Structure 1
């Protein structure tokens, strides 16, 4: 069995422009960084909206997290992550599935 090389050769510092570090021209790196940040922001906003809907449903039905977990087919800690808006722990698909399970199908509108 061949030994896997796991040596870290470079670490990008937080806040650094990854595109610049990859060797893109400065103006191009700034543009890609800005576009990337905009897409990340849009994704986070969408996840937060979906989580708000789930949290509102839980509250409106006066459910304990364990009860909500049973209905949503997830663990109680997953419900806690939704309520506490831990967006990094979920994909949009997962949140859409959870909403569908409670009779709140998601409709996408492109503006």
Structure 2
């Protein structure tokens, strides 16, 4: 059987802060609107994550837990607790943070509007 070759060549790199929508071919006006909207959504998600991470970090401190103890309760590994305490928001999904809060008896309520 012939071996299938997978194409892994990098043909383009989008620089951080660039408008991806412009690069993929949207008209400039629309690309700017989409870029601005996406940046705002990212900002809101990061703020939510940071708030949830703050609750978890506070709980760990209040309980005087070592990272390994917190990891066992939260069902994550110890390095992830470090990421949590250091508020590395890009390493967690909102779902994961909500689930961790539920595990410690702090259910999250979402209010829209």
> Given the two structures, how large is their TM-score scaled by the length of structure 1?
0.96
1:47-99 Cα offsets, whole Å, 9 max, x none, are: 10100000000111111111111111111111111000011111111111100
SS in 2 for 1:106: coil
2:54 is aligned, of 26, 35, 52, to 52
Other-structure match for 1:36 = 38
Structural RMSD (CA): 0.8
Moved over 6 A (4+): none
Gaps of 5+ in 2: none
CA distance in 1, matches of 2:51, 2:89: 10
